[in-house]
Amino acid sequence: MSDDRSILSRALGRATRAVDSAASGFRFRPGMERYGSVASIGSGVARIKGLSGVMADELLEVGGSATGMALDVDHALTGAVLLRGGETVQAGTEARRTGRVADVPVGEGLLGRVVDALGAPLDGRGPVREDARLPVERPAPPIMDRDPVQVPMQTGLKVVDALIPVGRGQRELILGDRQTGKTSIALDTIINQRGRGVICVYCAIGKRGSSVGKVVQELRENDALEYTTVVVSTEEDAAGMQFLAPYAATSMAEYFMEQGRDTLIVYDDLTRHARAYRELSLLLRRPPGREAFPGDIFYIHSRLLERSTHLKQEHGGGSLTALPVVETEAQNLSAYIPTNLISITDGQIYLSPILFRKGILPAVDVGKSVSRVGGKTQLRAYRAVAGDLRLTYSQFEELEVFSRFGTRLDDDTRQKIERGRRVREILKQPRSSPLTAAQQVFILLALGRGVFDGRSVEGLAEDQGAILERLDESLAELAEAVLRGDNLEEADMRRIVDEARAVLWEPEG
């Protein structure tokens, strides 16, 4: 008993000394804090009077339980969008400044996590471990700090990597009508980064919670969640959170870029982002413009996408590749938001609902898609096998329409149509089945050299699998050469074609 008392006495003594030490170091610093009050509230936007010196994008505490962000800074009233807890706010509710602009946690601890636009966890796995905090709004890197886009960002999709290549640091728009597979292309690209050292950020803006759940599940099933951060703002969230989400996601991705790492970010989608900003702007009584969007609708997207780039080596050499998604209506590419984003980005991948209904997946319309940068990043082997593929495919589509009129066709035209049908079939690819660059080169080379001519179109998927199974085993050294970016010599190409032809046309028995 005496031992227990002595232990307790020593513990109390240590605690007392710790309190005395802390108290002796305390210095009272008088200060002044200005409080305001809510003058009016409606639809997630509050007008606050009595606050002075408020910074743009500063976080405000409203009523002790709600968080707002200052968007309109005026002498008399501060226009704030409520990010969370807005149900408890009413006229007369007290509001005060926090002294800091909207920021989010960044670091390795966010990999594999699902968070909201302020970095709060949504996956039930406890607090997020953060290495630092960064503002959601950050200036884009200066032009002189950037390097040309030179390294490919492999998507694993034949039709994209061969015909519409994307480079690390590029901004490639994915657009099309609803339910045409836009998200699928973005997710396949994320899945294809497994083992490549690329950090991925998927930002869901205004989507249904069930849709986001499916995305997270698909990433988890394909072992892609471990190097991916998912930033979520669902359609149930306040418009302010939907507006903030892509900027917060970009800050999380920029942290890795500034460490010299390659990063990929997907914005899904910016159409809903524009609508959320339009809602906020109208509630803040800003003058509307075309389609009721505010005058700075172009700027909110350009300042977001300009943060994606490839940095010079003296600034770390990292890259941030952006895949923004935008939804069109009735295939109208000339609508306001799509044209804005087409003019900002470095190319677009257009998904056609007509191709989707025909079962041609991914439903990429090669004629309306373009990459303004990626061709310079494409591996050399692609140039030897895919150089004429785009032209061949475009000619086939025109001839196919012409042939429907029942006109008698000459042998050359008939041959082009038959080859085009096989090109279209080979470019099909199931979801979550990315191919390496070497596998794509092998198949496209066999296609261009006529290996599939004479084969049944319906059986080409099986033929392709058989060829890849053989070539992956027998041509491992050529596959490594392709991935290194080496040129394929004519002898190498003949060897690939001969191996592929032997698989499909070797005599039975």
Could you give the CA distance from residue 436 to residue 457 in angstroms, rounded to a whole number?
23
pLDDT of residue 29: 67
Q: Mean pLDDT score of the chain, rounded to an integer?
A: 91
Q: Which has the minimum average pLDDT: 185-199, 285-299, 330-344, 391-405?
A: 391-405
Q: How far apart are the first and last CA of the chain?
A: 92
pLDDT of residue 94: 93
Q: Please tell us whether the domain made up of 35-101 is placed in CATH 2.40.30.20.
A: yes
Structure confidence at residue 422 as a pLDDT band (50, 70, 90): very high
Residue pair 292/350 in contact by the 8 Å Cβ criterion: no
Q: What is the DSSP string of 201-260?
A: EEEEEEE-HHHHHHHHHHHHHTT-GGGEEEEEEETTS-HHHHHHHHHHHHHHHHHHHTTT
pLDDT of residue 472: 84
Fold: same for 35-101 and 104-123+132-377: no
Please state which architecture CATH assigns to domain 104-123+132-377. Answer: 3-Layer(aba) Sandwich (3.40)
Active site residue 275: no
What CA–CA distances, in Å, run from 183 to 68, 323, 349, 392, 429? 31, 10, 12, 28, 15
Indicate whether 5 pLDDT > 90: no
Tens-digit pLDDT profile for residues 192-229 = 999 999 999 999 999 999 999 999 999 999 999 999 99
Residue pair 354/171 in contact by the 8 Å Cβ criterion: no
pLDDT of residue 28: 60
Beta bridge partners of 264: 200, 321
Could you give the CA distance from residue 404 to residue 423 in angstroms, rounded to a whole number?
19
Tens-digit pLDDT profile for residues 297-349 = 999 999 999 999 999 999 999 999 999 999 999 999 999 999 999 999 999 99
Indicate whether 271 pLDDT > 50: yes
φ/ψ (deg, to 5) at 229: -110, 130
- Going by C-alpha positions, the residue among 101, 96, 144, 136 that lies closest to residue 115 is 136
Q: Identify the active-site residue in 133, 372, 390, 421.
A: 372
In degrees to the nearest 10, what's the CA dihedral of 21, 25, 26, 28? Answer: 150
Tens-digit pLDDT profile for residues 134-176 = 999 999 999 999 999 999 999 999 999 999 999 999 999 999 9
Give the residue ranges of DSSP H helices in 322-459: 336-344, 353-357, 380-386, 389-403, 411-427, 437-448
Q: Residue 363 half-sphere exposure, CB side, CA atoms within 13 Å?
A: 19
Beta bridge partners of 41: 46
Answer with the residue of higher pLDDT: 7 or 430: 430
pLDDT of residue 496: 93
Indicate whether 405 pLDDT > 80: no
Structure confidence at residue 1 as a pLDDT band (50, 70, 90): low
The per-residue b/e assignment along 359-390, b for 16 or more CB within 10 angstroms, e otherwise, is ebbbbbbbeebbbebbeebbbebbebbbeebb
pLDDT of residue 20: 73
pLDDT of residue 509: 39
Rounded average pLDDT over 447-474: 91
Answer with the residue of higher pLDDT: 20 or 286: 286
Give the pairing type, strands 77-84 and 66-73. Answer: antiparallel
Residue pair 240/205 in contact by the 8 Å Cβ criterion: no
pTM of the model: 0.91
pLDDT of residue 304: 98
Tens-digit pLDDT profile for residues 71-89 = 999 888 999 999 998 888 9
Could you give the CA distance from residue 336 to residue 359 in angstroms, rounded to a whole number?
29
pLDDT of residue 508: 47
Tens-digit pLDDT profile for residues 10-24 = 777 777 777 777 667
What CA–CA distances, in Å, run from 10 to 4, 6, 21, 445, 474? 10, 6, 16, 80, 74
Domain boundaries, the chain: 35-101, 104-123+132-377, 382-505
155: CB partners within 8 A, 6+ apart: 161, 166, 185, 188, 189, 192, 434
Map residue 106 onto helix, strand or coil. strand
Element (H, E) at 322: strand 319-327
Element (H, E) at 478: helix 476-484
Structure confidence at residue 389 as a pLDDT band (50, 70, 90): confident
pLDDT of residue 100: 92
Answer with the residue of higher pLDDT: 386 or 4: 386
Indicate whether 507 pLDDT > 60: no
Could you give the CA distance from residue 175 to residue 333 in angstroms, rounded to a whole number?
9
Could you give the CA distance from residue 391 to residue 35 in angstroms, rounded to a whole number?
67
pLDDT of residue 22: 67
CATH topology (fold) of 382-505: Lysin (1.20.150)
Number of neighbours of residue 352 by Cβ within 10 angstroms: 21
